Structure 1
Amino acid sequence: MTNHTQETHTHESFHKTRFAVIWMNILSEPLFTVYGLLAFILRKDLNASIFQIAILMMLRPVVSILSLYWSHTFGRRRDRLLSNVMTAEILSRAPFLLFPFTNNVWLIIACSAFHMMMRRGGVPAWMEILKLNLPSKERNRIFSQGSVVAYAEGVLLAIPIGYLLDSNPHMWRWLFPACALLGIASVALQARIPIPLEKLPMSFEPHGASIWKKILDPWVQSIQLLKSRPDFARFQAGFMICGFGLMLMQPALPLYFADVLNISYTDLMIALSVCRGMGYIISSGYWAQWLSKVGIFQFTSAVNVAVALSFCLMILAQFHIAGLYSAYFLYGIFLAGSHLSWNLSGPLFSHNEDSSVFTGVNIVTVGIRGSVGPALGGFLCVLLGPTSVFFIGIGFCTLAASKMAEWSKTATITTH
């Protein structure tokens, strides 16, 4: 291949990938906006129990463990990188087509779990595609741009969706499948992305490999990676501490909104989408610039401080609704940083290695902490109430921030 041909191919890959990133975010955002209301809908409209809410919150991250096997398949067949992502995108949205036809809380919980499993399963392949087609500095900027556009869309959708659900509480049954079909249609954009196969080391699953080998291989690969890369292991430990605190607080949120604050759908959408979205939009560009200048440990420490402060404001919401709005504005700032740190840590740590293995570890650790955090949080909500659970979660987030700051002094991995 001549230099001119290579440059043309690189230029084409860059622009098609950038276009896909931005428009995939735009077309996916409506579903993500209404999906954020699912626990509140189950509690308010279908009278879901605290146990069912805890199970919903627990399964969302726990199924990430199963998604590890999905993402591991393309590690053996790198030529299927794009088809892996496209199939996961379609399957993750398909369960919402059932929502108009059921009142069964457990079926809705199962659909939510399957959605999260497939959504997580496609992430390693998607991050590897971005690593192959986008230069490092441009990757941070474009990834941030796509997220900002999506959150801006969420801000515009929030109040109309909240008003629609307040005036017609059962309309969520049709919102979910409509938004899911829009997301499925967006997969056509991914199909246009060229994959530079010459950059991919090709390897295949050995014929006749035992079922136990297939089950254990992803775990062995992840453990070996953590042993060989102590810097990445420390990053995972810090993320695990903060993530566990967040998981602990998840079952408390719908209970706090419905039982303590007794807020409407419109109030919740203003907080969840408008305030959170504005925080995300305003801070995203600054986070992306900062990530290009400092080490990821220092970066993630600041992110953890933001989420701890946001839940401090959340506690004040029971005295005035402004506490809820300001809490979600700060939570949006946290999400903008966390979104970059979590999604791009694989490409940042991997350098010239396969980033999908690193991203796969990110995903499975979500499942590990999710198998304990929400269940324990639900139990503590019954025992102590949601406000006390917030205080405990804030403690974990603060601890994670201090450990990340400590490790940043000796870390050798930077984003330069």
Structure 2
Amino acid sequence: MSDSVIKHVKMGRALFWTSCLSEPLFTLYGLVAFILYKDLGASAFQITILTCLKPLITILSFYWSSGIGGRFKKNVVLAGIFMRVPFLFCLWCDSSWFLIAAAVNYMFFFRAAIPGWMELVRKNVREESRGRLFSLSSAIGYLEGIVLSLGLGSLLDQDPSLWKILFFSAALLGLVVVVIQAKIPVDEEEEKKERLSLKELLLRPWKDSYQLVRQRPDFANYQWKFMLYGFGIMLIQPALPIFTVDKLGLSYTELTAGISMAKGLGFALSSPLWSKKMEQVSFSYLASWVFLTVGAFPLLLTCSLWGVGWFYLAYFWYGVGQGGSHLISHMAGPIFAAKEESSRYTGVGVALGGIRGAIAPPLGGYLSFFLGPIEVLLLGGFFCFYSGVTLLRSRYTRSTLMAPKRTD
């Protein structure tokens, strides 16, 4: 086999194993707030600190990824180690502040590794197969997450103190991923670093990103539309529990069935379809339909007032949209970069995600209190629909709509 084929095969295996072996810790991370409150007796202030730090950490991770300097695999491997090691000490430390620090550290390096990881995918996976392999590995991981969330939740209900062993085991399993990623073949040339002042270190990544969007109006157009779409989705997050509890009065069983199972099924079934569509149409055209698909979720959810069946349908449809959203958010960098280094492009998306994460959820909570959850759901849906329609009508989308796609 040629070197390119060997790289393609090894990267495909790495995608699969990374998704499978990383999912246990990622699933447990989603339960951190509940573990803090139920088992460690964390205060509302500590839960608030954890919530507020998440978007800030995402923005700060932009600095790590911007300093890759051609060392993509090294970046991914180091981030993989740093994000998991603190959880190995959970067996001997039951401090709520320690768990908060470990969770924040995990999200920092999880986000920081994305640009380097997607650059490895771009370098090693053939263009026509990237979307398909990435979607398949993501769908498998998502299905695994559904099973794990139900199983881990049941275990913690029986013995809340098991979280220590679970975190330790999941972190240890995740470190196997690092070994697999370290064996990925890739040609890297480390860039020579110039000595920069503190001011330059802080401002250079933002200046470089600004120059990038100035030079690439098509990329800037997509990122602006994705910003509006992402803002709408994050705006409705505080309204979701208020709506489901106060307006629908659903039980935990009904919530689990909708949020975990229906959404997960929609994600898993739609991911291969989105990746196949990516091979047939332009990226911006596909993204516009992702935005429109997700925009229908708040509307369907409000219909739950007339029957719980609408609740399950809404979350299934949300999963369908999330299957496409996960694909385009990760593949945007490699696709817009083409033959260039993609980490700069992916880094822009990571930074903007942190910015909207710092603004939209607090605003959504404020509006839910003063206007009501239904109004916030409709407002979030409007942002998604507006971004989808304007991207669909964009000259960049129309100019590339009929562009031939490579099939060789």
Shorter-chain-normalised TM-score: which range? 0.7 to 0.9
CA distance in structure 2 between the aligned counterparts of 1:329 and 1:227, rounded to whole angstroms: 38
- Which one-letter code corresponds to 2:180 in the other structure? L
| 1:100-126 Cα deviation digits (max 9, x unpaired) | 64463x665544332222111011111
Contact 2:234 2:360 in 1 (8 A): yes
Determine the structure 2 residue equivalent to 1:16.
10
Determine the structure 1 residue equivalent to 2:295.
308
Of residues 146, 170, 191, the one that matches 1:203 is: 191
| 1:76-109 Cα deviation digits (max 9, x unpaired) | xx2x3212101112222344456664463x6655
Shift of residue 177, structure 1, vs aligned partner:
3.7
Determine the structure 2 residue equivalent to 1:403.
390
Shift of residue 242, structure 1, vs aligned partner:
0.7
Matched, 1:140 2:131: yes
Of residues 209, 227, 235, the one that matches 1:240 is: 227
Q: When the two structures are aligned, how many residues end up with a matched partner? A: 402
- How many percent of aligned residue pairs carry the same amino acid? 40
Q: Which moved more, 1:322-331 or 1:277-286?
A: 322-331
Contact 1:54 1:378 in 2 (8 A): no
Name the SS for the 2:68 alignment partner: helix
Distance 1:180 1:328, change over 3 A: farther
Contact 1:152 1:277 in 2 (8 A): yes
Shift of residue 256, structure 1, vs aligned partner:
4.5
CA distance in structure 2 between the aligned counterparts of 1:89 and 1:176, rounded to whole angstroms: 15
Matched, 1:192 2:180: no
Q: Which moved more, 1:310-319 or 1:149-158?
A: 310-319
Shift of residue 54, structure 1, vs aligned partner:
6.2
CA RMSD of aligned residues (A): 2.8
CA distance in structure 2 between the aligned counterparts of 1:412 and 1:43, rounded to whole angstroms: 50
CA distance in structure 2 between the aligned counterparts of 1:392 and 1:108, rounded to whole angstroms: 35
| 1:307-363 Cα deviation digits (max 9, x unpaired) | 122222333445544333222211211111011111111111111111111011111
Question: What TM-score comes out, normalization by structure 2 length?
Answer: 0.88
CA distance in structure 2 between the aligned counterparts of 1:315 and 1:120, rounded to whole angstroms: 32
Distance 1:92 1:262, change over 3 A: farther
Contact 2:139 2:268 in 1 (8 A): yes
Contact 1:308 1:397 in 2 (8 A): yes
Determine the structure 1 residue equivalent to 2:118.
127
The gaps in structure 2 that reach 5 residues or longer are none
User: Where in structure 2 are the equivalents of 1:215-230 lying within 5 Å?
Assistant: 215-230=202-217
User: Where in structure 2 are the equivalents of 1:246-395 lying within 5 Å?
Assistant: 246-256=233-243, 266-317=253-304, 320-395=307-382
The gaps in structure 1 that reach 5 residues or longer are 1-6
Contact 1:317 1:323 in 2 (8 A): yes
Question: What TM-score comes out, normalization by structure 1 length?
Answer: 0.86
| 1:273-322 Cα deviation digits (max 9, x unpaired) | 32222111111111001111111221111111221222223334455443
CA distance in structure 2 between the aligned counterparts of 1:66 and 1:38, rounded to whole angstroms: 21
Name the SS for the 2:136 alignment partner: helix
Shift of residue 74, structure 1, vs aligned partner:
1.4
Shift of residue 205, structure 1, vs aligned partner:
0.9
CA distance in structure 2 between the aligned counterparts of 1:132 and 1:194, rounded to whole angstroms: 10
Distance 1:357 1:351, change over 3 A: same
